[in-house]
Amino acid sequence: MSVGVEAVPGTEHWTTKGDVKLFLWHKAAISAPTRGTVFFVHGSSMASQPTFDLQVPGRPDSSVMDWFAARGFDTWCMDNEGYGRSDKKRPINFDISNGADDLAAGSDYIRKTTGAGKLLVYGISSGALKAALFAERHPERVARLVLDAFVWTGEGSPTLAERKKRLPEYAAMNRRPINPAFVQSIFSRDHPGTADEATIQAFSDAILSLDDSMPTGTYVDMCSKLPLVDPAKVTVPTLIMRGQWDGIASFDDLIEFFKRLPNPDKQFSVMAGISHASFQQKNYLLCYHILHGFFSQPEPLYRG
């Protein structure tokens, strides 16, 4: 078994969206020249560092930011407004469109701070919706887009069908409480056994050290306002990653979205043995491999 790379030192950054303060976390490439700048986008029920820079004893390369930094990529993540260390002061539910606005502010800061050109953008779950909407609005800022645990219309989603039963409750409040049992449910609802208990515990501890409640906006959007993204307007090279047992989006829903993507530089990858929360699964290195392949592939020489 690989012993993994050592943790790469990280630095905190702050930017603003109007009068809203947004927290960013940066881990620089440990070799030069930089192979690209990756911008990771978190989901509905956790901030960015627990998702993308999780350290778990005995689990090599648990931090995807460390893994990519060790391979020459400059890595960034950001807490959306309403999450983690970013501002939570506004009396709103911090929906997906608002999250895409955060990515515009964050990407502007990253590009100005580092001199990076187009970014390699990865989003998971509602973060994939935010990332796709951001790419639709700002294609000139995105080199490659990865949508993991993405959903388009919601058709055929058992997770969303179950969540819709509580839609009136979510719509009536801006935040919903979370606890260790809730985090555990992320890993048990689709196919129990895809993640080990030590990782789930570390993930839960990291999430709850920053938040005891989460915004309801992404839940309301995913239960009542889909589709939020027009695939015909997502013009950048795109990879769709779907866990074998993920309950968020059905294959048919994703295939229909995939068919409508206009850029021929596109891929669809199924991740065997994975449900949701890909980077916290037992097969997390499979996810890294797929993602690295797409982010490092050469541009086509001939386009016809």
267-286 pLDDT per residue, tens: 999 999 999 999 999 999 99
pLDDT tens digits, residue range 54-113? 999 999 999 999 999 999 999 999 999 999 999 999 999 999 999 999 999 999 999 999
Chain-centre distance of CA 290, in angstroms? 15
Q: Given its phi and psi angles, is residue 249 left (phi above 0), alpha (psi -120 to 50 degrees) or beta? A: beta
Helix (H, G, I), strand (E, B) or coil at 37: strand
Q: Decide: pTM greater than 0.85.
A: yes
Domains and CATH numbers, the chain: 11-296 (3.40.50.1820)
Helix (H, G, I), strand (E, B) or coil at 188: helix
Q: What is the pLDDT of residue 1?
A: 34
Q: What is the pLDDT of residue 205?
A: 98
Helical axes 126-137 vs 96-114, angle rounded to 10°: 60
Q: What is the pLDDT of residue 6?
A: 79
User: How many Å apart are CA 253 and CA 257, to the nearest integer?
Assistant: 6
